[in-house]
Structure 1
Amino acid sequence: MSSFAAVAFAYPTAIYSTLLGIVLCYWLLAMFGLVDFEHGGLELDGDVGDIGTLASYLVAFGLGGVPFSVVVSLLTLIAWTLCSLAALWLLPLVPTVPLRLAAGTAVLLGAFALALPIAARAVRPMRRLFVTHGATTNAELVGQRCRILTNSVDERFGRAEVDSRGSTYNIRVVADTPNTLTRGASAIVIDYDPANARYRVQAAD
């Protein structure tokens, strides 16, 4: 245990240990709600023109689709683990101090290079957790077809069902009378009244 601790705070692992400490502090702050891990940092998506150079490289390596903080945390943890193991098992075999420094630099860079594909595989199942779904607003339903659910629709009462973005919404509707809107009839949403939270509809034909 003491030898591993010595390796963790010696070159080259000490660099990743410092980064890992920063990451741990960040997640502690996130646990107490002081930072927003999902929206407080840079988002990684396919549009590399709007993000920094580092983030664009990470996207190119298949690390997109999750918050930047998650990617950095994974890379740091994986690179720290690989670097620690290499420093514990391989670097003691290097005979001289100058060669050990050179080998340590190679381990430092190699650990990061190996961490990229490993983190990319770890990120894949996480992407579904961070999919952003745009909410359907009241205005977006105006102009769409709906199906009447009540026996009739008048100026005070009515219900209809409308499909939008793969979801089905049960909405309150009103219509001028007389009309042909009965149960199962097709109608078009023509307006929304925010004061009464009702949609005005008319027969689709």
Structure 2
Amino acid sequence: MGDFLGAVTGYPTAIYTVLLGVVVIYWVLAMLGMVDIEHSGLDVDVGVHTHADGDASDIGHLASYVVALGLNGVPFSVAVSLLVLVAWTVSCLGGEWLLPLVPTMALQLLAGTALLVASAVIAIPITAVAIRPLRGLFVSHTAVSNAALVGQLCRVVTGVVNEKDGRAEVARRGASLNIRVWATTPNALKRGSQALIVEYDEAAARYLIVAHDEQSA
């Protein structure tokens, strides 16, 4: 147990441990509905759309690298989370089993740096393989006419809906479409609320919704 804790908190795994802590906090916030897992600043799905502030050329280059490495098809937050988890695991195992075999502190520092880089390199193909079965869960349904959804009811699936974030499901012939939505605040929308789609914002690729009871009133 002591060797494991030493590996987790020692160099180089401590770097990945901090990153893993950030990932855990992010997913806790996601489960509370405070962040949208698909609103990650960079959409790495097929077609590579950018929704982030900053230079579009730089974002496009980053997206092209992500696609080339096989990390596309899921929200960027999912890809990064898996990448950090795998790199942390590889680094932790190396720190527990291999670094103690290195005789001197100077050599351990050098070996630790090599392990830091190697863990990230090894994590990329492993993450790419792990992502493949997840891609079907994040299929974009942009083939359906966006205007056709205006006037239909939807069910909110995030904890909150505000001017920045929100998602909802629209039932269509036994299936459901998961769409990006927003609403003016304050509002009473929460997970499970019924809402009416009143407008589609083509530039932002999202829908304006209002609570169904508000519209009825």
TM-score band w.r.t. shorter chain: 0.5 to 0.7
Partner amino acid for 1:61? L
Query: Which of 56, 59, 80 is 2:67 aligned to?
Result: 59
Partner amino acid for 2:20? L
Separation in structure 1 between the aligned mates of residue 49 and residue 34 of structure 2, nearest angstrom: 29
Residue 57 of structure 1: how far off its partner (Å) = 1.9
Residue 53 of structure 1: how far off its partner (Å) = 4.2
Alignment of 1:170-189 (within 5 A): none
Pair member with larger Rg: 1
- Tell me the TM-score normalized by structure 2: 0.60
Report which structure shows greater RCO (CA 8 Å, sep ≥6): 2
Contact 1:41-1:67 at 8 Å conserved across structures: no
Contact 1:43-1:68 at 8 Å conserved across structures: yes
Instruction: Indicate whether 1:13 and 2:13 are aligned.
Output: yes
Instruction: Indicate whether 1:109 and 2:117 are aligned.
Output: yes
The equivalent residue for 1:132 is 140
Residue 58 of structure 1: how far off its partner (Å) = 2.0
Alignment of 1:146-165 (within 5 A): none
Q: Return 5+ residue gaps in structure 1 as ranges.
A: 141-166, 169-205
Residue 3 of structure 1: how far off its partner (Å) = 1.8
Q: Which moved more, 1:104-113 or 1:56-65?
A: 56-65
CA RMSD of aligned residues (A): 2.2
Instruction: Indicate whether 1:39 and 2:39 are aligned.
Output: yes
Residue 38 of structure 1: how far off its partner (Å) = 1.3
Secondary structure of 1:105's counterpart equals helix
Q: Percent identity?
A: 56
Q: Return 5+ residue gaps in structure 2 as ranges.
A: 51-58, 150-171, 174-217
Residue 59 of structure 1: how far off its partner (Å) = 1.6
- Tell me the TM-score normalized by structure 1: 0.64
CA displacement, residues 58-106 of structure 1 (integer Å, 9 cap, x when unaligned): 2211111110000000000000000000000000011111110000000
Instruction: Indicate whether 1:93 and 2:97 are aligned.
Output: no
Separation in structure 1 between the aligned mates of residue 97 and residue 113 of structure 2, nearest angstrom: 15
